[in-house]
Amino acid sequence: MTYELYYWPGIQGRGEFIRLALEEGGARYRDIGMLPKTHGDGVTAILRVLEARGSRRPAFAVPILKAGRQLIAQTPNILLYLGGRLRLAPADEPGRLWTHQLQLTILDLYLEIFHTHHPLGDGYAYEEQKAAAKRRTKDFLAVRLPKFLTYFERVLALNRAGTPWMVGSRLTYADLSMAQVLAGLHYGFPAATRRELRRRPRLRALHDAVFARPRIARYVASGRRLAFNNEDLVRRYPELDR
């Protein structure tokens, strides 16, 4: 099967969690938003799927994965679907649910990162909410980020499989997503992230192990992986990195 991924061009965003799973799983896929609109792809194709009136199960937003005739939306839902098919999740139900639970918690952290620079919502420019952003970020860096990272470090410590992964002896999509969030934190809050990860060696090891995976390393080196930028959900504003 050749999958089709629908996500906005120009940013990693939530689509990157799906891309990493597809790349690591060796799946064939078309990244529709990145393709030329002259052939009916690009943003035109994304809007066509989002605005389709014939669907009885419409998606609210991208990312959307097309698998055969099936359209699947919501990042954790897509990863739950791909996990078993790409051998990126345990075969047993408790393991699958645990992996899914971790993924949901990772995305909770991801959303809190976004809210540091847009605490009043993305309808306002960052410059319109700087004071609120500074206040929100101060709490995030002092309280919320350490709480999340302490939790994930503990999860890694409780996995006795002797691997850098969170679930058993094999890498899962939750490990890929955790590494992606850590990469985003390094971009958005380099000083604070270095400070927090000094005391969390297992998270450092997970990040490095994921990006050393042959397929992931080839993807990063290929130029197809978009760079972090300040149009994305994770942004760098030096005045917030305290």
Domain 2-85 has CATH 2.40.400.10: no
Is the pTM higher than 0.95?
yes
2's tokens: 């050749």
Domain boundaries, the chain: 2-85, 93-213
Q: In terms of CATH architecture, what is 93-213?
A: Up-down Bundle (1.20)
SS3 letters across 168-192:
CCCCCHHHHHHHHHHHHHHHHCHHH
4's tokens: 């089709």
pLDDT digits 0-9 by tens, 96-128: 999 999 999 999 999 999 999 999 999 999 999
pLDDT digits 0-9 by tens, 168-225: 999 999 999 999 999 999 999 999 999 999 999 999 999 999 999 999 999 999 999 9
Strands (E), 84-138: none
In degrees, to the nearest 5, what angle opens at C-alpha 32 toward C-alphas 26 and 38? 135
Burial 8-32 (b: 16+ CB within 10 A, else e): beebbbbbbbbbbbbbbbebebebb
183's tokens: 């990469």
By CB neighbour count within 10 A (0-12 exposed, 13-18 middle, 19+ buried), where does 231 fall?
A: exposed
- CA pair distance 1, 141, nearest whole angstrom: 43
The two domains 2-85 and 93-213 share their CATH topology (first three levels equal): no
Q: Is 73 helix (H, G, I), strand (E, B) or coil?
A: strand
